[in-house]
Amino acid sequence: MLPPPRWLAPSCAALIAAAPASAASPGATIVSALAGPPKPSFLARVHAGEIGGVILVGQWRPAEMRSTTAQLHAAGCAIGRPLLVLVDQEGGFARRLTWAQPDNSEGELGHLGIGETDLEARQAAVQLRQTGIDVDLAPVTDTLGPRGFLRGRSFGSDPALVGELAVTYVRALQRNGVAATAKHFPGLGSATQNTDDSVVTVWKTELEPFIQAVNAGVKLVMVSSAAYPRLDTSGTPAMFSRPIVTTLLRQRMGFKGVVVTDALDAPAAARTPDAPARALAAGVDLLLYTGSGAARSAYIELARDARTSATVRADIARAVTRIDALERWLGRSC
């Protein structure tokens, strides 16, 4: 095996020694996509400890979703580890559960105001929780730029309004038992191309709405795959950038929760060597993949790195500690 990469930080032997046995499991950090009821092969991967979370993609009927989330939670508990179930439910056209709230998009809620945002987010939380969802990958906390590709997925172009409505959305979800996610840190509002399809560089971003969401106690922050040269002069994509994830988000802004990547099989991330370990070294906790095959490959790669590097094991231990805290908040236990 190759020695640990030079970009890794020094190992933390004390943290490794203090971490519980489950903290060494690289699979706890992997989020894999699922587009329909799980096949036996998918559940076998959960039972093998290769998956710590599932993001539901595609379209789902209510009964089908309840049955699926029950299977997933049972599969996680079979190995003594609750499984996180995540979904993109921003609102309007940007939602996986078309039968659930928010009925309006974030752009529409930006015009309707605080009262309607609070109402629809509360209703969404109740519906998500009833169908076994733990995490809503919302709200979009980006301030829309003049030609921003997010368009109606953002609350608007006024950072004060975006921050106010993001906080409203976060609190409404979390008061009703669903963890909220401020995304896409440190901001995609001025990006003219979608990071899911293109390699993107962002020169201007509004941090204030994210600061407000962090201060409001948001449980997760999703970090983007765009590069931000004014925040990290190396041009490293944000999800691999220690100056952005650890120095800015965790230390300067004081975020103590779970950091999840945007899609790690998107173009900028997919071409980055050692991507899973690099993201964890930056301060990320959950590694999200929109393809099941990519998630499996990431697990194999991360497990290999963990076998040969105490530093990678320490990074996994730190991540799992924060994931465990989120699961306790959600009330998930086996």
Instruction: Going from the first residue of the chain to its last (334 residues), give the mean pLDDT of each consecutive group of 10, the final group possibly shorter.
Output: 34 32 75 96 96 95 96 95 96 95 98 98 97 97 96 98 98 98 98 94 97 98 98 97 98 98 92 95 98 95 96 97 96 84
pLDDT at 13: 30
CA-closest candidate to residue 23, choices 280, 220, 249, 334: 280
Does the domain made of 29-330 have the CATH classification 3.40.50.1820?
A: no
pLDDT at 24: 56
**In terms of pTM, does the model score above 0.75?**
yes
Task: List the beta strands (DSSP E) in the chain.
Answer: 30-34, 53-56, 84-87, 89-91, 94-95, 135-136, 181-185, 220-223, 258-261, 287-288
The answer to whether 105 touches 93, Cβ cutoff 8 Å, is yes
pLDDT at 1: 28
Every domain of the chain and the residues it spans: 29-330
pLDDT at 216: 98
pLDDT at 332: 82
Q: Which residues are CB-contacts of 157 (< 8 A; sequence separation ≥ 6)?
A: 143, 144, 145, 146, 189
pLDDT at 2: 30
pLDDT at 23: 40
Residue 333 to residue 129: CA distance in whole angstroms: 15
Count of CB atoms within 10 A of residue 182's CB? Answer: 29
CA-closest candidate to residue 89, choices 45, 131, 39, 139: 139
Query: What's phi and psi for 203, nearest 5 deg?
Result: -100, -25
